[in-house]
Amino acid sequence: MAKILYFVTDMDPMSMRLALEHKDSEVGICLLQDAVYFGCKGRKGNGTLVEAKKRGIRVFAAKKDVELRGLTSMLYPDIKVLDYGEIIDLVLDFERIVNI
C-alpha cells in the first residue's frame, strides 16, 4: 500500500477531492498557505475535508500559516498543526508527495 501525502495550497475543492480518490493507499493531507481555511469548523465549502476525516485520512496544517491567519482556535481539534521541521519529518514518512 502506497503512502501519499497531498500538499494543498489553495481553496480549490478539487485538490481535496483528488486525495479522496485513493482507495488502496494511505493518504495524508497537509494544508498550507490559504488552504488552512479548509480546516476551520463551520466553514462553507469544507465538506471534502470532513469526508476525508470520516475516511480516516490524516490531516495536518502548517502552524505558521494557521497563526498568520488567526485561525488557531477555529481549526477542527483533530487536525495536527505542525511547524516546518515537523512537516519535513512528515515528508520523509510518505513515499509520494503530490503538490496541488
Which three-class secondary structure state does DSSP give residue 10? coil
Taking the model in full, what pTM does it have? 0.91
CA dihedral 67, 99, 14, 26 (to 10 degrees): -90
Query: Considering only CA atoms, which of 37, 47, 1, 31 is closest in space to residue 99?
Result: 31
State the pairing for strand pair 96-99/2-8: parallel
Average pLDDT over residues 80-92: 97
Per-residue model confidence as pLDDT tens digits over 13-45: 888 888 888 878 899 999 999 999 999 987 665
pLDDT reported for residue 45: 59
Q: Does domain 2-99 have CATH number 3.40.1260.10?
A: yes
Average pLDDT over residues 54-61: 93
